[in-house]
């Protein structure tokens, strides 16, 4: 599935060892790999922790797909984005990662069935599929001024054992969103070939410009998904609350397929009952009060993205690749040394930690991925050092 330019096991481990050496020496690092909003200097409402002490949390009332109040709150959050998703079509999970595992159990037989996954993308998919005995088959995103789905690689990689197509919109780390034509193309293939479409939308609340992320299929706009479709979200990104562990699956598509999927989902979720009662009881408040956190994160990533655009414009050998939304930005730099060597130089000589492109399976040299979450002064200085290091 992945390129062989640098083994995926070697790169991160070598960089991790180097980070440990640098920190052991007492040096301060400017971290452009930061993905934890709770460690990014974002101000959180003081009342948020108290939401987990709701009286309803003291009574255990196991519901396989989640407590009605929590599912209704999630439905309201979908409505905020212009998406009609009835509460009875929502299943709660402890995280988006768990949602993937639940869906692989729902859709796939282990040791044979496959799921198509986009690359470049976050490497977690390789682990998630294999842990459930599912074979990952890559399809490519290609960059031509913007990232697009290479449908030829979808068709070339498709086998009779493909049961699901994973689509991440906005993608991590490319920041690309699916166009209507791309979404239709993937959904049509799934409908024709008896597969499901899994759309990960966790970064949908973070457009890098004033243009909002399009909701895609939505019954509100008369465009229900033509295939069995699962939409993934969670508090980790939408409210900047990775520590409270609440994700969700919205089920869409033809009614008969949706009913069958929900029946099977109920059995799977009932087997684990993994979502804690306190977070379910608190969900309405967390979603409501998390809006303030979401706005602060949005302002942060937009500020840093604009700063990056302005800084990189002064370095003709560096290209900031277009992104639509998310918490990351991608730089294409001159291939004067390997990405791994460049990342190590930045770490050891400039005190900047950044992800090399091979970590996300970019197809060739040389790409760097920078988080947009750090505090603006830190981000500015870190990017300045990166640009000075890579320019030719």
Other Cβ atoms closer than 10 A to 176: 28
> For helices 255-272 and 96-107, what crossing angle results, to 10°?
120
CA distance 140 to 269: 32
Q: What is the mean pLDDT of residues 70-75?
A: 98
Which 8-state DSSP code applies to residue 112?
T
d(CA 54, CA 88): 23
Q: Is the dihedral of CA 69, 75, 76, 77 positive or negative?
A: positive
CA distance 227 to 213: 21
Q: State the average pLDDT over residues 354-377.
A: 95
User: In angstroms, what is the C-alpha Rg of the chain?
Assistant: 21
Confidence of residue 223 (pLDDT cuts 50, 70, 90): low
C-alpha triplet 356, 4, 365: angle, nearest 5°: 40
DSSP 325: B
What is the distance between the alpha carbons of residues 299 and 293, in angstroms, rounded to a whole number? Answer: 10
Fold of 49-290: 3.40.640
pLDDT tens sequence across 309-362 = 999 999 999 999 999 999 999 999 999 999 999 999 999 999 999 999 999 999
pTM of structure: 0.94
pLDDT of res. 39: 96
Reported as a single tens digit per residue, the pLDDT across 321-333 is: 999 999 999 999 9
Question: Taking the domains of the chain in order of start, what are their residue ranges?
Answer: 10-43+291-390, 49-290
Q: Which two tokens stand for residue 16?
A: 């991790």
Give the pLDDT band of residue 208 (cuts 50, 70, 90): very high
pLDDT of residue 6: 42
**Residue range 123-152: average pLDDT?**
96
Taking only the tens place, the pLDDT of each residue in 5-61 is 444 443 457 888 888 888 888 888 999 999 999 999 999 999 998 899 888 888 899
Q: Quick one: tokens of 236?
A: 């980790």
CATH number of 10-43+291-390: 3.90.1150.10
Q: Give the pLDDT band of residue 301 (cuts 50, 70, 90).
A: very high
Closest listed residue to residue 287, CA positions, set 215, 232, 249, 238: 238
The answer, yes or no, to whether residue 109 has pLDDT greater than 90, is yes
State the DSSP H helix or E strand holding residue 350, giving kind and residue range, or none if neither: helix 339-350
Contact 378, 30 (CB under 8 A): yes
Task: Report H helices in 143-254.
Answer: 151-157, 180-192, 235-238
pLDDT at residue 41, as a whole number: 97
Same fold, 10-43+291-390 and 49-290: no
Strand partners, 325: 207
Residue 213 per-residue DSSP state: P
**Comparing 41-50, 152-161, 190-199, 296-305, which segment has the lowest mean pLDDT?**
41-50
Report the percentage of the chain scoring pLDDT > 70: 95
Tokens, residue 58 = 């003291």
pLDDT computed for residue 219 by the predictor: 53
Q: What is the pLDDT of residue 5?
A: 42
Indicate if the alpha-carbon torsion angle 3, 5, 11, 15 is positive or negative: negative
């Amino acid at each position: 599935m992945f390129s062989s330019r640098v083994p995926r096991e070697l790169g991160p481990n070598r960089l991790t060892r180097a980070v440990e050496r640098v920190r052991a020496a007492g040096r301060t690092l400017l971290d452009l790999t930061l993905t934890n909003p709770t460690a990014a200097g974002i101000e959180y409402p003081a009342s948020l922790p108290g939401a987990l002490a709701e009286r309803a949390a003291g009574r255990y009332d196991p519901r396989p797909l989640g407590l009605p109040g929590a599912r209704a709150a999630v439905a309201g959050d979908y409505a905020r984005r212009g998406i009609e998703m009835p509460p009875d079509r929502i299943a709660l999970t402890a995280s988006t990662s768990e949602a993937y595992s639940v869906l692989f159990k729902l859709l796939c037989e282990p040791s044979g069935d496959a799921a198509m996954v986009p690359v470049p993308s976050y490497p977690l998919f390789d682990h998630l599929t294999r842990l459930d005995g599912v074979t990952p088959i890559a399809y490519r995103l290609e960059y031509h001024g913007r990232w697009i789905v290479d449908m030829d690689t979808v068709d070339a990689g498709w086998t009779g054992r493909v049961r699901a197509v994973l689509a991440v919109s906005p993608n991590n780390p490319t920041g690309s969103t699916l166009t209507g034509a791309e979404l239709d193309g993937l959904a049509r293939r799934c409908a024709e070939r008896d597969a499901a479409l899994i759309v990960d939308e966790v970064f949908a609340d973070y457009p890098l410009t004033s243009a909002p992320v399009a909701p895609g299929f939505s019954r509100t706009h008369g465009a229900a998904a033509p295939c069995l479709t699962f939409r993934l979200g969670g508090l980790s990104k939408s409210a900047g609350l990775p520590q409270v562990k609440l994700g969700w699956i919205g089920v869409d598509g033809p009614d008969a397929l949706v009913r069958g999927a929900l029946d099977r989902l109920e059995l799977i979720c009932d087997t684990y009952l993994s979502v804690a009662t306190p977070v379910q009881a608190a969900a309405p408040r967390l979603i409501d009060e998390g809006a303030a956190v979401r706005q602060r994160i949005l302002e942060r990533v937009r500020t840093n993205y604009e700063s990056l655009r302005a800084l990189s414009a002064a370095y003709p050998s560096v290209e900031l690749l277009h992104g639509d939304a998310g918490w990351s930005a991608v730089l294409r730099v001159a291939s004067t040394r390997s990405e791994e060597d460049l990342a190590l130089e930045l770490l050891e000589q400039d005190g900047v930690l950044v992800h090399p492109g091979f970590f996300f399976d970019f197809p060739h040299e040389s790409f760097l991925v920078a988080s947009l979450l750090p505090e603006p002064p830190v981000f500015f200085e870190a990017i300045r050092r990166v640009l000075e290091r890579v320019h030719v």
